A = this chain, B = another copy of it.
Amino acid sequence: MTSSMDESAQAWTPSDFEARLRAMGETRYHHRHPFHLLMNEGKLSQIQLQAWVLNRYYYQSSIPLKDAALIARCKDQKVRVEWLHRIIDHDGDDDREPGGIDRWLILGEALGLPRTLLLEEQGILPATRFAVDAYVRFVAQGTLLSAIASSLTELFSPQLIQTRVSAMLCHYDFLDEAALAYFSRRPLQAGRDSHFALAYVLEHARTPESQTDVLNALSFKCDVLWAQLDALYYAYVSPGFTPPGAFNP
Contacts and interface: CB of A to CB of B under 8 A. Distances in A.
Contacts of A64: 71, 77, 80
Contacts of A92: 81
Contacts of A88: 84
Contacts of A93: 81
Contacts of A1: none
Contacts of A71: 64-65, 68, 71-72, 87
Contact of A72 (B68, B77, B80, B84): B68
Nearest to A77: B91
A161 interface: no
A65 B69 CA distance: 9
Contacts of A94: 81-82
A141 to B, nearest CB: 12
A140 interface: yes
A82 B95 CA distance: 10
A81 B69 CA distance: 15
Interface residues of A, number: 24
A63 to B, nearest CB: 11
A129 interface: no
A243 to B, nearest CB: 23
Contacts of A101: 77
A93 B77 CA distance: 11
Interface string A38-74: 0000000000000000000000010011101101111
A66 to B, nearest CB: 8
Nearest to A87: B84
Contacts of A77: 61, 64, 91, 101
Interface in A97-117: 101
A66 B71 CA distance: 9
Contacts of A66: 72
Which 5 pairs, one residue from A and one from B, show the smallest C-beta to C-beta distance? A68-B72, A68-B71, A69-B72, A68-B68, A81-B94
29 contacts: A64-B71, A64-B77, A65-B71, A65-B72, A65-B73, A65-B74, A65-B75, A66-B72, A68-B68, A68-B72, A68-B80, A69-B69, A69-B72, A71-B71, A71-B72, A71-B87, A72-B72, A72-B140, A77-B101, A80-B87, A80-B91, A81-B91, A81-B92, A81-B93, A81-B94, A82-B94, A84-B84, A84-B87, A84-B91
